[in-house]
Each structure stands twice: as C-alpha cells, then as structure tokens.
Structure 1
Amino acid sequence: MTTPFFQANPDIIKPYALMDLDDTLFQTQRKIDAWELPTSEPENLVCATVNKQGKPLSFMSQRQAVFFNWLLASTELIVVTARDRSEIERVKLPFDSWQVLTHGAIILDKDGALQAQWQQRMHSQLAPLQDKLQQLSQLFANHSRNDNSQLVFTPHIDSFNNGAVNEELTIYLAIKHAQKDHQALVELAKKLPTLIRDFEQDFYVHVNANNLAILPHAVHKHHAVQFLLEHHLDSQRSSFGFGDSLADLPFLQLLDWYGVPNHGQLHECFSSQ
C-alpha cells in the first residue's frame, strides 16, 4: 500500500476552536492600558461585555475582533470559561455551539440546554462537599463584613439535577481584593489550607490577577472538555484552543494544537522559562 500525497480539498471540514474568553479574546480597559495592546485606540475598540448595569465593561482590540470574526467563519467555536450562567449572558458575542461554563461545572449544548449526564455527574461530586463549602462561605462572609476587610467574597451557586430533583449547590467560592492587591490574594491562598480539615484533599486554589477561586477538585475545565471530546465531539475533526491562565493549560493540552495571547499569566510563565 502506498501512502498518498496531500491534495487540496475544496470541501472544508471546520476544526473545533475551544476558547477561553476573558483576557484571551477581550479584556477591560485597565488591562488594555497595562498590556499596551495594539489597535486598541478608542475608535478601534469593540464592546464585548457589559456590567450588571448594562454598561460596556470589556473590549476587543481591532486585531482581536478580526481574529474572533475569523474564528466564527472558519471553526466551530466552543466557549470554555470561568464565567457562570448569569455572567455569560453579559458577553455580547454570538455563540452557537457547546459552552463550558463555571470552570467546567456547567456544560450547555448547542441549544443552550444543560447537558443532563454532566449535570448528574457534577451533582454526585459536589453534594458531599456542601458542608465544607458552607463552612468556608461563612468564614469569608464574616470576614467581608469587617469594616477593615478589602476582600470581596462571592459564592457561585447553580441548580443541578441528580436524576430525580433539581437542587441548588455551591460550586466554588470567588474572592477579589477591593484595591486589586494581587499579592494580598497570593498570601491568602497560602493560608487557606489551614482553615478547614482536609482542605487540600477536597479543594484546589487558583489565583490569577485579581481573582482567587477555591474550587473542588471535581470542578475543572479539563474534566469538562475531556467529557466533550470523548462523548460529543467528532474525533475525526481537529481541535485547537487558546487560553491565558495556568488553569487553562490542562484543557488546552487535550487538544491537537494550542496557543496563548502575548500577555497574561501563561505568557508570563512561559516567558520566564
């Protein structure tokens, strides 16, 4: 048998593009200024997200907008983001395929419906951790009420079906610093394992810029993307992706190719090697 040489084929099979959103495809004005992104003059900016009041919050540079438009036309674009179901609604970009949300705890299908099998799997893994997540929530809620505290604490909660009933479960805990003191969050992350018994057995901590997340080991973009690749995506189609944070790297490594923007946590990590 002779191996054939490549021949161009006009029938294009779109690859999958699995994409992180914040700081990969768009970012706030503060980060645009800090990273000195090209083609980000005011007349070139494109609004990508709004805040809770409906005001523009994050923007794409002209280059990012061109890149995103190419992705829409040339790939099946799959969102892979830490944003939850309410936060993704504030992203004003057109998505029409699978969406991996809330660090991987939620998978929506092409019609925007919750993926039932994944729902049940996550319910079974999150339910036993609710008492510990409530303990942590109470600790941070009490701390946040301290007038001197600069920490802004948010529990992320969603509804999960265990095959019989829907139940609201806490997925993970997010903490920001009011003054955007990244080092303060790094120091807090070091103290977290001392707060409750077997912390590191049940949870991991991710810190990126002004975001600290306390997550159950069951909640990870990697797990959700692996589930999609094994059960729902066509194995004959190629895949690639982009992400900016260390938390993105495990899911990116499942793909055929991956890349990072020339700014952000992963870029800084690779640049320091």
Structure 2
Amino acid sequence: MTTPFFQPNANIVKPYALMDLDDTLFQTQRKIDAWNLPTTEPEQLVCATVNKQDEPLSFMSQRQAALFNWLLASTELVVVTARDRSEIKRVKLPFDSWQVLTHGAIILSKDGKLQAQWQQHMYDELAPLQDKLNQLSQVFANYSKSDGSQLVFTPHIDSFHNGSVDEELTIYLAIKHAHKNHQALIDLAEKLPSLVRDFDQDFYVHVNANNLAILPRAVHKHHAVKFLLDHHLDSQRPSFGFGDSLADLPFLQLLDWYGMPNHGQLHSQLQSQLQPL
C-alpha cells in the first residue's frame, strides 16, 4: 500500500477554535495602554463588552477584530471563559456554538441551554462543598466590610438541577483589590489554607492581574473542555485554541494546536524562562 501525497480539497472541514475571551480577544483600555497594543487608535477600536451600566468596557484592536471575524467565518468558535451566565451577556459578540462558562462549571449547548449531564455532574461535585464555600464567603464578606479593607468580594452562584428541583449553589469566590494591588492578592492567597480545614484538598487558587479566584478542584476549564471533546465534538475535526493565563494552559494542551497573545500572564511566564536572543 502506497501512502498518498496531499491533494488540495475544495471541501473545507472547519476546525474547532476554543477561545478564552478577556485579555485574549479583547481587553480594557487600561490594559491596551499598559501593553501598548498596535491598531488601537480611538478610531480603530471596536467595543466588545459593556459594564453593568451598559457602557463600553472592553475593546478589540483592529487586528483583534480582524482575527475574530476570520474565526467566525473559518472555524466553529467555542467560548471557554471564566465569565458566568450573567457576565457573558455583557459580551457583545456573536457566538453560535458551545460555551464553557464560569471556569468550566457551566456548559451551554448551541441553543443556549444548560448541558444536563454536565450540570448533574457539577451538582454532585459542588453540593458537598457548600458549607466550606459559605464559611469562606462569610469570612470575606465580613472582612470586606471592615474599615480600611480594599478587597472587593464576589461569590459566583448559579442554579443546578437535582432531581425535580433547581438548587442555587456557590461555584467559586472572586476577590479583587480596589486599588489593583496585585501583591496584596498574592499575600492573601498564601493565607487561604489556614481558613478552612483541608483547603488544599478541596480548592485551588488562581491569581491573574487583579483577580483572585478560589475554586473547587472539580471546577476547571480543562475538565469541561475534555467532556466536550470526549462526548460532543467531532474527533475527526482539528482543534486549536488561544488563552492568556496559566489557568488556560491545561485546556489548551488537550487541543491539536494552541497559542497565546503576545501579552498577558502566560506570555510573561514563558518570556521569563527563555533566554533573550
């Protein structure tokens, strides 16, 4: 048997593009300035997200907008983001495939409905941790109200189907610093294991820029993407993806090809390990 040589084929098979959103496809003006991104003159910016007051918050450069337009036309674009179901509604971009939300705790199908099997799995994982998550929530809620505290605490909660009822469960806890003091968040992360019993056994901590997330080990983009690849995505179709943070790397490594923007946490980590030319 002779292995054939490659022949061009007009029948294009669309690859899957599994994409992180914030700081990968768009970012705030503050980060545009910090990273000195090209094609970000005011007249070239494209609004990508709005805040709770429906005001422009994050923007795509002209190059990012061109990339996103190419992805929409040439791939099946699968969203993989830390944003929850309310936050994703403030992203003003057209998505029409699977969406992995809330660090992987939520999977929405193409028609925008919760993926039932994954929802039940996450309920089974999260329900036993509610007491510990509530304990941590109370600690941070009290601390954030105290005089002089610069921490902004947000519990991320969603409804999970269990039998014939929907239950509200805390998925993870997010903390920001009012003055964007990254070191203060790192210092806080080091103290977390002392706050609840078996913290490291049940939770992990992700710190990126001004975001500290306390997540159950069952909640990870990697787990949700693996579920999609194993059960719902066509294994004959190629896959690639991009992400900007260290938390993206495990899901990216499940794909055929992956990369990162030339800014952000993952890029900085790699750059620090490479010898300059």
TM-score w.r.t. structure 2 length? 0.98
What code does the residue aligned with 1:210 have? N
1:22 and 2:22 are equivalent in the alignment:
yes
Task: Give 1:147 shift.
Answer: 1.9
Q: Deviations over 1:139-192 (max 9, x none)?
A: 000001012000000000000012331100000000000000001000100000
What code does the residue aligned with 1:138 have? Q
In structure 1, the partner of 2:211 is 211
In structure 2, the partner of 1:148 is 148
What code does the residue aligned with 1:122 have? M
Task: Give 1:22 shift.
Answer: 0.1
1:157 and 2:157 are equivalent in the alignment:
yes
Q: Deviations over 1:79-135 (max 9, x none)?
A: 000000000000000000000000000000000000000000000000000000000
In structure 1, the partner of 2:56 is 56
Return the alpha-carbon distance in structure 2 between the equivalents of residues 121 and 109 of structure 1.
16
In structure 1, the partner of 2:192 is 192
SS of match in other structure, 1:234: coil
Return the alpha-carbon distance in structure 2 between the equivalents of residues 58 and 163 of structure 1.
39
SS of match in other structure, 2:191: helix
In structure 1, the partner of 2:73 is 73
Return the alpha-carbon distance in structure 2 between the equivalents of residues 185 and 264 of structure 1.
17
1:181 and 2:186 are equivalent in the alignment:
no
Return the alpha-carbon distance in structure 1 between the equivalents of residues 183 and 162 of structure 2.
39
1:254 and 2:234 are equivalent in the alignment:
no
SS of match in other structure, 1:68: helix
Return the alpha-carbon distance in structure 1 between the equivalents of residues 258 and 163 of structure 2.
36
Return the alpha-carbon distance in structure 1 between the equivalents of residues 162 and 250 of structure 2.
27
What code does the residue aligned with 2:153 have? F
Return the alpha-carbon distance in structure 2 between the equivalents of residues 180 and 255 of structure 1.
33
In structure 1, the partner of 2:222 is 222
In structure 2, the partner of 1:101 is 101
Unaligned runs of 5+ residues in structure 1 are none
Q: Deviations over 1:181-240 (max 9, x none)?
A: 001000100000011110000000000000000000000000000000000000000000
Return the alpha-carbon distance in structure 2 between the equivalents of residues 3 and 188 of structure 1.
58
SS of match in other structure, 1:89: helix
Return the alpha-carbon distance in structure 2 between the equivalents of residues 34 and 269 of structure 1.
17
Unaligned runs of 5+ residues in structure 2 are none
Task: Give 1:54 shift.
Answer: 0.1
In structure 1, the partner of 2:245 is 245
What code does the residue aligned with 2:20 have? D
**Dislocated runs of 4+, deviation >6 Å:** none
Task: Give 1:253 shift.
Answer: 0.1
Q: Deviations over 1:31-89 (max 9, x none)?
A: 00000000000000000000000000000000000000000000000000000000000
Aligned length: 273
What code does the residue aligned with 1:16 have? Y
Return the alpha-carbon distance in structure 1 between the equivalents of residues 2 and 161 of structure 2.
53
What code does the residue aligned with 1:55 have? E
Return the alpha-carbon distance in structure 2 between the equivalents of residues 163 and 155 of structure 1.
25
Bigger mean CA offset, 123-132 vs 161-170: 161-170
- CA RMSD in angstroms comes to 0.4
What code does the residue aligned with 1:81 have? T
